[in-house]
Amino acid sequence: MKDINVIPLTAENTRALQDTIYVIGGKWKLPILFSICSGNKHFKDIQRSIPGITTRMLSRSLKELLDNKIITRTAYSDSPVIIEYEFTEYSKEYAILINQMIEWGKRHRKLIIESV
């Protein structure tokens, strides 16, 4: 098999991969990012778009994404207060990664189903 490892296996690169997995890992973070990327900006819209996520888990995951500078939270002083979540300028490249992961997931599912 042809060697596909383009990036050298170093401690620094391994640490960078671990950091990435830490930030977007878990059951809910990628679906949350996908929801925001798809245009859902409000808590309830994000929650409705992700079957099975609890209010507590969504709140916790949004806080972690905020802490890691992946999304921003803007509160508007309307009555009631409106809160919007959006990608930071820095993290907009995640949209590209999410699309690539979705395409890979489709190909992988097809491969597995066809092999059964």
The enclosing domain of 107 has a CATH number of 1.10.10.10
Domain membership of residue 25 (yes or no) is yes
Number of domains the chain contains: 1
**pLDDT at res. 1:** 47
Domain membership of residue 88 (yes or no) is yes
Domain membership of residue 5 (yes or no) is no
Q: Say what the pTM is.
A: 0.83
Structural domain containing residue 50: 11-115
**Per-residue model confidence as pLDDT tens digits over 17-68:** 999 899 889 999 999 999 999 999 999 999 999 999 999 999 999 999 999 9
Domain membership of residue 2 (yes or no) is no
Residue 5: band (very low, low, confident or very high) from pLDDT cuts 50, 70, 90: low
**pLDDT at res. 97:** 86
Reading the block at residue 60, the tokens are 């916790």
How much of the chain, in percent, has pLDDT values that exceed 70? 96
